[in-house]
Structure 1
Amino acid sequence: MRTPARNAELALLLEVAGTPKPGNVDRHRDLEDLRFEHFLAGAVGAREGLELAGDGAAVGAAFERAVAGMAEQGGGNTQFGSLLLLVPLVRAAREELAQPTVEAVCEDTTVADAADFYRAFDRVDVFVGDPPADMEPLDVRRGSDAVPALEDRGLTLLDVMERSVPGDDVAREWVTGFERSFAAAERLADADPDAPVTKRTAAVFLSLLADRPDTLVATRSGEAVAREVSDRAAELLERDALETDPDAVETFADDLVARGVNPGTTADVTAAGLFIALEREAIAV
């Protein structure tokens, strides 16, 4: 029987293996400096931090260790956002993998957890938007240099996540009880049980992208592009294109890669959904 940490590692591997995943690295598509094998190595590298979470370590320390291990490959940031979702989920799975338990894990985070979260930014470059002028001392891109300001204000990791909403849907999961992650798990469980998990993963990714404009796309390419991408995903989903016209989905995926449009937040939520489904034995691999 796999431990929660092992299921989290497997979720990361299944997420990148899902194909097609428009705008993201998958088995058929690499980005210019970020390739499929970098994601495989990132998932394996994150194992130690995930095991710390499974053993009951503090969320911040486990996350920082997971990111450090993830970063030990040549592609840079592969799964930072996914790990920010998976670490509290793995921690919660020690008791019960349910929304109230995950909410309690997040509510129990401390200033020390927030400091470790900031230190994780020293490990790898993460694309984030510019903060408001009054929040510049707390800009996460400053990494450990921002820790004194963080400590002066007494902000916990949950406080930091709350200040990142509505512009970051990974942070939004923290303040909504991982609402979309649990919904993704239910969709995976309800999908055709005879279909490969990688195909079900691609279908759930497309459904999540259709639900909400991706916040990473909005930050990097603008809200209009994010809405356009979400609308295209909804149109493909409405006509069941993965089954009836898979070439159209492949074309969409190729187009987003060519344009440098990456719905990476949707991929992060997909990974979290995969973990929950694996832990609940709603999908089998």
Structure 2
Amino acid sequence: MSAARDPVDDATLALLLEVAGTPKPGNVDRRRDLDDLRFESFLGGAVGAREGLELAATDEASVGDAFERGVAGMADRAGTNTQFGCLLLLVPLLRATVDDTDSSPAGRLTPTTVDRVTRDATVDDAVAFYRAFEHVDVAVADPPADAADLDVRRGSDAASVLRDRGLTLRDVLAISADPDDPDRVPDRNAQEWVEGFPRTFRAAEWIRADTGPLTDRAARAFLGLLAAEPDTLVAASHDPETARRASARAAALLGGGDPGSAGPADTDEIHADSVHRADLDAAESLATAFVDEGINPGTTADLTSAALYVALRRGAEVAP
């Protein structure tokens, strides 16, 4: 039973299964390296993050400190940023898994318990989150003009601002989750933090109800997530229009849109059946095109790893 397994093992396995899922258009997978990222780097990052994940599964460290420790270990072992966003999602999921305020292990990992974890985050957690940016280079969009002093790239230099304003980690992420500019693509990871992880739990059900190797299920879930909403990293690295077109191209593989359209399919149009029927052979050509065009849906990969963790906790198994 999944509840009897060590949640840290499941979190580590989720990181490994995510990068092993193939094809994930634009991302590193078993068949593709990028110019500055290799498959083996992600394996090293998953191993290096272990200490942070272990802290997240105990009460020996705050959520922010566990996250920073995970990022530092990842960066040390991988030599670069491989799973920063994955860890931002996995740490509260792990803490919710072992939350001792719930009576049964099987009932702990729910949107309600994860929401409670993020609501309990403190100003110190926000400071640790900013400090984590000093360990690796993370591609982020410029902050809104009225929040320049909260630019995460300031690292520890932003601590005094955070403390003076009493901003918790959830408060900080809420700014990115709901940008004032309607053309700006929201930070999907930040949205998970403030909305109760709806994308994560939905994609986890896609994975759990699917069949075949978990790596194939992960690749199909990745396509479903990308088809539903434009990717934050693509928008930050290129522009919102490119991110929306990339989602439309993924949606076309699921039979949910026109690859030449200017935006993704409506989220409500992405059903489990269309995800389960996704043609991974057809996705290979899109993967090649995205790599050639430098389109890297990294935030979608973060969500996929989180969904894999939830699916593993809810009974998904590595195929024999």
Q: Shorter-chain TM-score: what band?
A: over 0.9
Alignment-derived partner of residue 231 in structure 2: 214
Q: 1:2: how far off? A: 2.9
Q: In structure 1, the residue corresponding to 2:76 is in which secondary structure?
A: coil
Equivalent position to 1:34, from 18, 32, 37: 37
Alignment equivalent of 1:64, drawn from 48, 62, 68: 68
Partner of 1:175: 194
Give 4+ residue runs of structure 1 displaced > 2 Å after superposition: 239-248, 282-285
Find the aligned partners of 1:74 and 1:227 in 2 and give their Cα distance: 30
Q: 1:111 aligns with which of 96, 105, 123?
A: 123
Instruction: Count matched residues.
Output: 283
- What's the TM-score once normalised by structure 2's chain length? 0.85
Structure-2 change in CA distance of 1:232 and 1:77 (3 Å): same
Q: What residue number does 1:189 align with?
A: 208
Letter in structure 1 aligned against 2:120: D
Classify the secondary structure of the residue corresponding to 1:127.
coil
> What is the CA-CA distance between 1:39 and the residue it aligns to?
0.3
Match of 2:46 among 38, 43, 46: 43
C-alpha contact 1:102 1:177 (8 A) present in aligned 2? yes
Equivalent residue letter for 1:97: L
Alignment of 1:1-285 (within 5 A): 1-56=4-59, 57-95=61-99, 96-166=108-178, 167-192=186-211, 195-238=212-255, 246-284=280-318
Distance 2:77 2:36 in 1: 12
Q: Which structure 2 segments of 5+ residues have no match?
A: 100-107, 179-185, 257-273
Deviations 1:73-118 (A, max 9, x none): 3541100001000000000000310111000000001000000000
- Aligned partners of 2:222 and 2:87: how far apart in 1? 17
Q: Which moved more, 1:234-243 or 1:127-136?
A: 234-243
Q: Distance in 2 between matches of 1:129 and 1:243?
A: 34
Counterpart of 1:267, as a letter, is: A
2:148 and 2:158 mapped to 1: Cα distance? 9
- The answer as to whether partners of 1:241 and 1:249 remain within 8 angstroms in 2 is no
Q: Tell me how far apart the structure 2 counterparts of residues 245 and 163 of structure 1 sit (CA, whole Å).
A: 37
Q: Is the 8 A contact 1:34 1:75 kept in 2?
A: no
For 1:55 and 1:243, locate their aligned partners in 2 and report how far apart those are by CA, in whole Å.
Answer: 39
**Deviation per residue, 1:225-247 (Å, 9 max, x gap):** 11111111111112879978544
